[in-house]
Amino acid sequence: MNGPLGAARVTAAQEALYCEREVVLCAGVYNSPQLLMLSGIGIADEPAAHGIEPRADLPVGESLQDHLHLSVIHLTGTGTGPLPGAAGPLAPRGRGLHTSDVGGVGGFARTREGLDAPDIQFHAMPMVLPQGPGTTTPALVNGAALLGTTSRGKVSLRSAQPGAKPRVLHNYLAIPEDRETALRALRAVLRIAYRPALRVHRRADHLVPDSDGDGDLLTFARREANTLYHPVGTCALGTFVDRELRVHGVSGLRVADASVMPTLVRGNTNAAAIMIGEKAADLIRSQRHDVTTSRRRATAGRRTGRPARSRPGGAAG
């Protein structure tokens, strides 16, 4: 802010790294706000509570959003898992069943009338994936992610030590509207799982609610829900960065990752995150081009004794 921007890399001995033009922060929805707060950029009370001198009072780590995912699982006895020999074509030709991402079946739906857009995203898988080393289990996995949720969480500091993990509070299902969506999503998933075409393949229940009553469904959602790995919003466009991804009031600093998305898209965030990175690259290249052009014209003006012409609005170009 006053002097060159840089970063400190914590090793056996501390090392300072400096940049010539600007720093582009791309540490992700959890770690970008953590690094900013460790640098004194954030709601003033947050860095100060950990002995860090506040440098810019901005809403960092707020408005955390994510897609909550709810699944029901039935074991099968009809060989829905990997087929013997299916891995054969993978290594030599990059083809075959093992090139599948396993969860390639899905869709979008509105669970009630009057919605402008889908509020759930379906996913289906033919197996239960192991949690760590192990084999897959043939199963019918039917799930739905909640879209357009209104619950908001927060990322905050756990410690002033850079190696410490940040504190992440998602606040899933904190708003009654989101709980209602979860109930409708689970009932929609159960309707699919109990259709005759799938019922004949079911061998046993593996992960299902005790009943379709509101209480049992909500208990199941709170106990078994998981993230779909689509967090956004902790360095939001508008409140924290401007349209060129520059941090308000801090020169030479941009954020370019999914944390700048002010609202969560109704679908996977991968394409949007790629777009943010590509747009940031375009903005940086454009700025460098403008600066280089201005310097060349200023140099030419000094050589000829005539001032460089300016664009409308006063910017040399």
Per-residue pLDDT tens digits for 258-310:
999 999 999 999 999 999 999 999 999 988 755 555 555 555 555 566 655 54
Q: 């192990």: which residue's tokens? A: 134
Which residues lie below 8 Å from residue 98, measured CB to CB, with a gap of 6+? 82, 86, 87, 89, 90
Which of left, alpha, beta for 168 (phi over 0: left; psi -120 to 50: alpha)? beta
Residue predicted with more confidence, 28 or 134: 28
Q: Give the model's confidence band at 237: pLDDT under 50 very low, under 70 low, under 90 confident, else very high.
A: very high
User: Cα(181)–Cα(166) distance, rounded to whole angstroms?
Assistant: 29
Q: Are 10 and 162 in contact (CB under 8 A)?
A: yes
Residues annotated catalytic, as ranges: 230
Measure the CA–CA gap between 224 and 172, rounded to whole angstroms. 12
Task: Report residue 194's pLDDT band, with 50, 70 and 90 as the boundaries.
Answer: very high
Closest CA to 150 of 108, 127, 125, 180: 180
CA 165 to chain centre: 17
- Give the whole-angstrom CA distance, residue 285 versus residue 263: 27
Instruction: Return d(Cα 54, Cα 52) in angstroms, integer.
Output: 6
Domains of the chain: 18-63+235-293 (3.50.50.60), 68-79+97-227 (3.30.560.10)
Name the pTM for this structure.
0.81
